Structure 1
Amino acid sequence: MKVPSTRTEKNLRGFAFFLIQMTLAVLLFLLFCVLSAGGKPVVDDDPVCGYDACPEAGLDTLNVHLIPHSHDDVGWLKTPDQYYFQDVQLVISSVVDALKQNPDRKFVQVETAFFKQWWAQQNDRVKEAVQNLVNNGQFEFINAAWSMNDEGAVHYQSTIDQFTLGLRYIQDNFGKCARPKVAWQIDPFGHSREQASISAQMGFDGLFFARLDYRDKNRRLNDKTMDLLWRGSANLGNASDIFTSVLYSHYSAPGGFCFDIVCNDEVIIDDEESPDYNLERRVDDFANYIRGVVEHYPTNNVLITMGDDFRYEAAMTTYMNLDLLIKGFEKFEQTYNDQRIKVFYSSPSCYTKAVNDYVTTNNYNLELKTDDFFPYADGSNTYWTGYFTSRAASKHFERQSNTLLQVAKQLAVDVQESYDNAAINSLKEIMGVMQHHDAITGTEKQHVANNYHFLLSKAVKNVNDEAGQILSTLISGTDENFEFDSCLTANVSACSQTQGDKFTVVVYNPLSHKVTAPISLPSYDKTNWHILDPDDNTVDYQIENSLIDFSYVDDAQTSKTTIQFSAKDVPAMGFKVYRVEANALQHKVKKPPNPRVLVGYDDTSFEISEETGLLQAVTMNGVRLEITQDFQYYSSQDSSGAYIFVPVYDQISRIANGPISTTLVTGSVSQGVLQDFGSWGKQFIKVYNDDRSFIEFDWIIGPLDISDGVGKEVISKFTTSLATNGEFYTDSNGRELLKRTRNSRPDYDYSDEQPVSGNYYPVNNRIVIRDASQDIELAIITDRSEGGASINDGEIELMVHRACQHDDGRGVGENLNEQEYGTGNRIRGKHFLVVGPTSGNGEKSLAAIERDVAQRKSVQAWSFVTSKDVSGSLNTLQFSGLRSDVPDNVNILTLEPWDDGTVLLRLEHTLEKGEDENMSQEVTVDVSELFTLFTITELQETTLGANMLLEENVRLQWPGSAIDDKVSPTKRDVADLAITLAPMQIRTFWAKVTYT
């Protein structure tokens, strides 16, 4: 051993030893930090994400994109919370741990409602780890809406809102790397063209789904058109084009290759010394499966889903097997048509980019689709068209809640409320859940439906209180709270606020043009009232008997009568206050004459048959049309259930036996006839004096009698002699109309083995028939989503209620037969009839009139009622959020708080090309002096989902659809406050505001 010769040498060696010890300590500390943080001590400063993080997909190899995913329903067989605490929190936690073990592994996360719930429970170390996984492309958000929304029974406004909510949450917490690039709609039961258009406007490059008609799928498999280009709008052109891919075999893992703990498939063993060694054989099996798949796709890329419902609760079990499978393909080379099969972890975004690279390099045009994927049938007699109507009351409650949400958001802007308003955000979130494809569809178990209604009712109550306080402040000019209530039970003639001798009604109009709204409230047998409008003018009213006796509603005090009046010209995005007081003076009621045939007014009226009691003709917009309307029902076959509509199509019956009784009801507000169809239903047909643009059908149907063991599916049928040549039109999520041809499909040979349900389509707000020879058009407008059809020329039918005896075998495990108050459900709703020449009334085309009515009935004026005396403290009795009117073809779709000093603003053009000679043109709105309480000083245009500036949105271009070169959209001058809209265009802005 060498001995140090001097003290200096000893000191140097000691110092070196000290440095080594310190270095080791620092390294150990850093290692501890790495392990504690789950990967890296700090978030990457220069992340590689998006398409840059995609694995290399060669142009000369067969690229197999493995997609690890978990489809997590936000309620179905369990409530959302039950699913989260029993399944989803385990899925996400397990996946995050597994991804950290191998940087090649990937996972796609979809439902933001669940992710937010999980994220709130994590500590900073886990959050840091997830941020890194996002930044390196391993943990990828796709779709990223609050839920995976249905596409048949949803309104476009609610779809946009729930995407906006989810996208903002992801953007706020993860930044640019988390922006989704594709839509992932793998489970909805049919697919709408408007959903494709919305996806394109969100900035998505791709759209993926699994369910389409079995004949359409077979044709696409044979023609290698499972990858296609979908044009989402007939008005927006190729700007609405989006790459679309149909999954090969649902969204499950291939047979024999499910490695989740709930599966029993053979695991992969790569130990050659083991008697159970099977790596090479399993690679061969998987390669053979791939060779079968690639035969049906147009490029050298195939997408293989490795997941299913609530998979990856123990993620390592799947990832370890997939690791071995990928290595097996590297070790045992497999080929297809002389191309090496290359298997790797990927994502739908990376698949989209790889297909784009291939078609661009080869100048290959994908098939272009311009209609939609409705209706969906998975077999020769099983059409998923029942859910268009299932749980009709739930569908209406959701539509009402959307209206209240828009009202609350607008009021929040008026008083400078922040984006973080807890009550409004709570309603946004449950509304996002309600768009889910097992919520708004009515295809969930009954206890889950009850849970949805509980959550929605709670959120509505809180937002009602919030909006009521804001209204109180605006009306009084103080902090006084008038305790306004929305009287949601007024449809069953119950409202505690109107039981006394005095109450106040505030009618709020959330639309961008003034409206005249009919108001109907329980009057509790009082017949004499005095109503004053904001200008102290006396308002006409009339007293009517309630549609039925609602005394069976045992948790609310119901009334046998209602008071009805018209709130005239309620200002745009504003309100009017009406003061109502019982009056000792006798109210003079005009006695109706002896029963007469003609009901209504000179320009708008209808005729009732004295023989049958049914409608026999209508007159409107200068046209008299003979038309009958009746309630009928189909008897259900055993396979009819929550999803599927299978009627005994040649057995359609009336719900009434013989002629129906009628009662003429007239007054200064409306003229109408009350029809009694027996124990199953009643209906009030009426025309309003102050709004003659439609004829209203206010009906109540139920309970349905299925005591004979046979399900019943009730329709409202309108029958005319119009020559419609097998054609009719339905809206797409409340936006563009699509032509339907009976017993025909544009993309594949259609067999009409089910002539009724096979011709049913979703009607979100309008169904139309036209007679070109007479130039007459008839539209029926709905107050919620329903299934509709034209089974015979000149007819329209809308399904309004259904009760089924059997489950349809599609997973829910229950028959659809809702019960309330010890009996089957009663469903109350309204239809609105518009008829006339296509040219309209001389001012607007009939299409423009229909759209105006549909808009007013989809987002209706909202009534707030209080029994408190407001007369002592009045600041204003009427208010408009707009200084000036916007053009008739423009609507402010969204106004809500966004950031400090910023609001989110969306404007939409409400007409299609060619619908109106004057209004189906580009239109410009100057918003610089548009709003009453604030001034917009700057505008930054964003994508439809408001998660990025429009100039940052550079979408992939496709041969046959490329607009120009791959250039960024033109950056907008923030000082430019003029917004130009083309037909059907929606534009979205972050608007910087200052309050006056």
Structure 2
Amino acid sequence: MRVRRLSAILGASLILGGCFMLYLIMDLTFLPQEIHSESHNKWAQLEDRLNQLEDDLRRHHDTVGQLKHSIKDMVGEGLRQESLSPNRTTSSPRMDLLSCGLQVSTPPHTDVQLLELYKQLKFDNLDGGAWKQGWNIEYSQHSWNPHKKLKVFVVPHSHNDPGWIKTYEDYYHSQTRNILNNMIKKLREDDRRKFIWAETSYLALWWDEISQEEKAQAKQLLANGQLEVVMGGWVMNDEANTDYYSILTQMIEGHQWLQNNMDYTPRSSWSIDPFGESPSMAFLVKRMGLENLVIQRVHYSVKKMLARSKNLEFLWRQTWDGSGSTDLLTHMMPFYSYDVPHTCGPDPKVCCQFDFRRLPGYGMACPWRTPPQVITEHNVAHRAEMLLDQYRKKAQLYRTNVVLAPLGDDFRYDQASEWDAQFNNYQRIFDYLNTNPTLNVEAQFGTLSDFFTAVREEVSPEQFPTLSGDFFTYADRDDHYWSGYYTSRPFYKRLDRVLMGYLSSRPSFASWLLAPETGLTKLLSDARRSLSLFQHHDGVTGTARDYVVEDYAKK
């Protein structure tokens, strides 16, 4: 009761202090006219009032500080008395007080605290050479041996935005449908092939079109580990503008769909395109039962500093968590982007030569003007060792000998020819690397689960550094800070919150759900999916084309 009374006093003092400051500000707004007529005297009065304001604010600050310390002392004393009580139970109001915002304490220690790290950064963006935002990476040939091989997992993927340059439906009909159809066909041609998929909203459109035989084939690919659904949300949501209720809605919508239609539960999360990364999302992912997370869009200076200390893989911990119960094993990609030129290693000119969608005649080219080559028995040794050099350099940035090398980009694998070009050429490279024991490497296609399983086998999770904080504001190069989307298109951001408000009141309609003839079930399902779709990182952010944003608004 005393704590509650002090809390009320503290709140009241803050309100009174705010009102007092507002009164002085309003009072001062009338001074200019008086000063104009009696300038000398009024300036003296103004100075006196400002001095009085400073004194009052100082006293108010001291009073609030004393109240905080009194509350802290009362909580501590109450807990000490309760711990000595023979009738103490496992839960009490005072114990509950420890988890509320009233508690005054310092954050638990972590190996990396991002607020402290930001104070150390120079944000100087020095030219690092081939890796522009890094440095020239060197390694010893003796870092690996027959008992300690480099393990490389090349993870084919296709990032499918549910609305950006085109609308959700337009993307599906023009590209995504082809990707998913080819996925079934091409993975079944060779059981060494792997693929990951993230956006459940597109799976739902596709599922309604395919045959029962194709559905069974998709389930089989999931069961044998060739296909993995990562994250599993309706979309890959933004992490800055979204409300936690909407994030949960879109994740539940996606996960329930996967359970109901594919009997599948995701294990790993994949957040490669949201413009900055939030610890709240990591907390929700952990509570949803996912075990691992991959992130990409983080300020290039932060990446460089974490890479220097080999802290790009860490246990992401909440700032209020003293026990480590919120720890989530997180892998941060080190380079500029998630496309092929920036994922095999530090030199994009070399990595681009191993994006076989860019072979001459395929309609894409490498900006560095050195195209890929078809892998043959005559060039495989040279080409494979060139790629291995990039993998080895990338491994120097992490604490394990397990390398994640994503192989994809936006709306990739929409043509059957790309599946053949990527998988056939890489398999020839893998065969060469794996059959030459002096290279001490095992390379293969893999999923996120394959990669994280290998990581955990080499290093137990508790050996990774702990990290707390958020990865905002994102900059991909120079001073290009991605912050305009925090406030852009406010009308549509407001629509998002209005729909969220309607949906959050749905428990009051629970009795109506028992009467399907009302149609409320269909309305609620459509509303959830519309809200979920808009959580996409090009939806609520406002970063899509005008007509795409208008399409979201109509939904």
Residue matched to 1:94: 182
CA displacement, residues 756-814 of structure 1 (integer Å, 9 cap, x when unaligned): xxxxxxxxxxxxxxxxxxxxxxxxxxxxxxxxxxxxxxxxxxxxxxxxxxxxxxxxxxx
Q: Distance in 1 between matches of 2:388 and 2:172?
A: 36
1:190 to 250, 253, 276: 276
Q: Any residues of structure 2 matched to 1:523-922 within 5 Å, and which? A: none
Question: 2:433 matched to 1:321?
Answer: no
Taking structure 2 as the reference length, the TM-score comes to 0.67
1:441 to 526, 530, 541: 541
Q: Distance in 2 between matches of 1:194 and 1:129?
A: 36
Larger Rg: 1
Residue matched to 2:352: 255
CA displacement, residues 970-992 of structure 1 (integer Å, 9 cap, x when unaligned): xxxxxxxxxxxxxxxxxxxxxxx
2:320 to 215, 234, 242: 234
The residue identity in structure 2 corresponding to 1:187 is: D
Q: Distance in 2 between matches of 1:364 and 1:402?
A: 38
1:269 to partner: Cα distance? 2.7
Q: 2:158–2:413: 8 Å Cα contact kept in structure 1?
A: yes
Q: Distance in 1 between matches of 2:501 and 2:462?
A: 45
Residue matched to 2:290: 204
Residue matched to 2:13: none
The residue identity in structure 2 corresponding to 1:214 is: Y
Change (3 A) 1:267 1:423: farther
1:280 to partner: Cα distance? 1.3
Question: 2:452 matched to 1:352?
Answer: yes
1:63 to partner: Cα distance? 0.7
Change (3 A) 1:204 1:138: same
CA displacement, residues 436-460 of structure 1 (integer Å, 9 cap, x when unaligned): 00000011111111111112xxxxx
The residue identity in structure 2 corresponding to 1:407 is: S
1:147 to 217, 224, 235: 235
CA displacement, residues 684-736 of structure 1 (integer Å, 9 cap, x when unaligned): xxxxxxxxxxxxxxxxxxxxxxxxxxxxxxxxxxxxxxxxxxxxxxxxxxxxx
1:255 to partner: Cα distance? 2.1
Q: Which has the higher helix share?
A: 2
Q: 2:198–2:270: 8 Å Cα contact kept in structure 1?
A: yes
CA displacement, residues 935-993 of structure 1 (integer Å, 9 cap, x when unaligned): xxxxxxxxxxxxxxxxxxxxxxxxxxxxxxxxxxxxxxxxxxxxxxxxxxxxxxxxxxx
The residue identity in structure 1 corresponding to 2:381 is: E
1:151 to partner: Cα distance? 0.3
Residue matched to 1:427: 527
Q: Distance in 1 between matches of 2:187 and 2:306?
A: 35
1:393 to 465, 488, 491: 491
Report runs of 4+ in structure 1 exceeding 6 Å deviation: none
Secondary structure at the aligned position of 1:208 is classed as strand
Change (3 A) 1:412 1:203: same
Q: 1:149–1:188: 8 Å Cα contact kept in structure 2?
A: yes
Q: 1:267–1:321: 8 Å Cα contact kept in structure 2?
A: no
Residue matched to 2:372: 266
Residue matched to 2:114: none
1:406 to partner: Cα distance? 2.1
1:268 to partner: Cα distance? 3.0
Residue matched to 2:113: none
1:89 to partner: Cα distance? 0.6
Residue matched to 2:471: 373
CA displacement, residues 852-887 of structure 1 (integer Å, 9 cap, x when unaligned): xxxxxxxxxxxxxxxxxxxxxxxxxxxxxxxxxxxx
2:500 to 402, 407, 412: 402
Q: Distance in 1 between matches of 2:178 and 2:388?
A: 32
Change (3 A) 1:347 1:262: farther
Q: 1:329–1:341: 8 Å Cα contact kept in structure 2?
A: yes
The residue identity in structure 2 corresponding to 1:326 is: F
Q: Distance in 2 between matches of 1:233 and 1:282?
A: 46
Residue matched to 1:929: none
CA displacement, residues 627-662 of structure 1 (integer Å, 9 cap, x when unaligned): xxxxxxxxxxxxxxxxxxxxxxxxxxxxxxxxxxxx
The residue identity in structure 2 corresponding to 1:244 is: T
The residue identity in structure 2 corresponding to 1:65 is: F
1:409 to partner: Cα distance? 5.1
Q: 1:205–1:352: 8 Å Cα contact kept in structure 2?
A: no
Change (3 A) 1:437 1:278: same
Change (3 A) 1:220 1:262: farther
Q: Distance in 2 between matches of 1:84 and 1:334?
A: 46
1:395 to partner: Cα distance? 0.6
The residue identity in structure 1 corresponding to 2:166 is: K
Q: Distance in 1 between matches of 2:515 and 2:437?
A: 62
Secondary structure at the aligned position of 2:444 is classed as strand
The residue identity in structure 2 corresponding to 1:258 is: D
Residue matched to 1:65: 153
Change (3 A) 1:409 1:282: farther
Residue matched to 2:348: none
Question: 2:208 matched to 1:120?
Answer: yes
Q: Distance in 1 between matches of 2:500 and 2:443?
A: 45
Q: Any residues of structure 2 matched to 1:916-931 within 5 Å, and which? A: none
Change (3 A) 1:330 1:382: same
Q: Distance in 2 between matches of 1:373 and 1:348?
A: 22
The residue identity in structure 1 corresponding to 2:310 is: K
Q: 2:250–2:528: 8 Å Cα contact kept in structure 1?
A: yes
Q: Distance in 2 between matches of 1:171 and 1:117?
A: 16
Change (3 A) 1:415 1:141: closer
For the aligned residue pairs, the C-alpha RMSD in angstroms reads 2.0
Aligned residues: percent identity?
Answer: 28
Q: Which has the higher strand share?
A: 1
Q: Which has the higher contact order (CA 8 A, sep 6+)?
A: 2
1:284 to 369, 385, 390: 385
Q: 2:226–2:447: 8 Å Cα contact kept in structure 1?
A: no
Q: 1:205–1:242: 8 Å Cα contact kept in structure 2?
A: yes
Q: Any residues of structure 2 matched to 1:13-52 within 5 Å, and which? A: none
For structure 1, the 5+ residue unaligned runs are 1-57, 456-996
Secondary structure at the aligned position of 1:140 is classed as strand
Change (3 A) 1:347 1:247: same
Q: 2:235–2:533: 8 Å Cα contact kept in structure 1?
A: yes
1:290 to partner: Cα distance? 0.6
**Matched pairs, number:** 385
Residue matched to 1:213: 299
Q: Distance in 2 between matches of 1:86 and 1:236?
A: 49
Q: Distance in 1 between matches of 2:244 and 2:513?
A: 27
For structure 2, the 5+ residue unaligned runs are 1-145, 341-350, 366-370
CA displacement, residues 344-396 of structure 1 (integer Å, 9 cap, x when unaligned): 11111221221112112xx8721211111111122342211111101111111
1:126 to partner: Cα distance? 0.8
Residue matched to 2:403: 302
The residue identity in structure 1 corresponding to 2:279 is: R
1:413 to partner: Cα distance? 4.5
Taking structure 1 as the reference length, the TM-score comes to 0.38
Q: Distance in 2 between matches of 1:351 and 1:345?
A: 10
Secondary structure at the aligned position of 1:387 is classed as helix
The residue identity in structure 2 corresponding to 1:149 is: N
1:248 to partner: Cα distance? 3.0
Secondary structure at the aligned position of 2:294 is classed as strand
Q: Distance in 2 between matches of 1:153 and 1:364?
A: 32
The residue identity in structure 2 corresponding to 1:90 is: N
1:332 to partner: Cα distance? 3.9
CA displacement, residues 310-334 of structure 1 (integer Å, 9 cap, x when unaligned): 0011222222222222112123446
1:199 to partner: Cα distance? 0.6
Q: 1:231–1:237: 8 Å Cα contact kept in structure 2?
A: no
Q: Distance in 1 between matches of 2:201 and 2:394?
A: 33
